[in-house]
A = this chain, B = another copy of it.
Amino acid sequence: MERLSVWAPDGLPEIIPGDHLGELIADLLAGLEEQDRPRDGDVVVVTSKIVSKAEGRVVAADDREQAITDETVRVVARRERPGLPPLRIVENKLGLVMAAAGVDASNTPEGTVLLLPVDPDASARTIRSALTQRLGLGRIGVVVTDTAGRPWRDALVDIAIGCAGITPTDDLRGSTDTHGRPLNVTVTAVVDEIAAASELVRGKSAGRAVAVVRGMDRHVTDADGPGARALVRGSADDLFREGSAEAYARGLADGAAGRGAGGR
């Protein structure tokens, strides 16, 4: 029997710029009943929102569109929306492809929007260090999450944009399936699945920004590891590097101008 338990406590104070987030999370978790306090092998999941708040990644709401532009490395796709700013799906400075570059207008004080953390893997490492010290632990994982849409499916799921002390993937290549055949392509995005599982108890409107996950010991490591950046697919390998309309338009222009194939 394999088991997974996930819990998200209430009680984290509102996070403001300059807060030592690792300490505040440690305070919250140290105050839980014994069975709910993190143990070696557990994973602590933290939404990027509170990391952004603690790191002061706050800009005025009037500048939301400008903030998105500033965070944009490359526009992937764009769609006009009547009465609203256009939908922009862009590659941001973290290499993540997201709507609005990940700029967030919810759960932040009126008149402000939040940018993503500058380096969520580094943030995860810092939180991990604080938690292991404060809670007297030897080995825990930390995952920093964000909410994202995806092509071909409606609605949103949480993914991992930062992690430390946990392998981002569960690489089964080299092992075999139940029939003894090699599993050649099965690399599971463990930290994305942990992010998704944690969202089910954190939610978005009730203010629970931290969750503990127990049962993932086999993925928790002594070292910080490569982080969630390892899950970002390189553009050159990506078959959906550009939105369909954008790629079509570029081809149309190249074809009409008599330019050769410039697919990229």
Contacts and interface: CB of A to CB of B under 8 A. Distances in A.
A106 B186 CA distance: 10
Interface string A241-253: 1111111111111
Contacts of A253: 251, 255
Contacts of A238: 151-152, 244
Interface string A160-199: 0000000011101001111101010011111011101101
A172 B153 CA distance: 17
Interface stretch (A6-14, A16-24, A65-73, A132-140): A6-14
A153 B232 contact: yes
A100 to B, nearest CB: 10
**Secondary structure class of chain A's binding surface, majority of residues:** mixed
Interface of A: 1-10, 14, 36, 77, 79, 89, 96-97, 105-110, 147, 150-159, 168-170, 172, 175-179, 181, 183, 186-190, 192-194, 196-197, 199-208, 215-216, 230-233, 238-258, 261-264
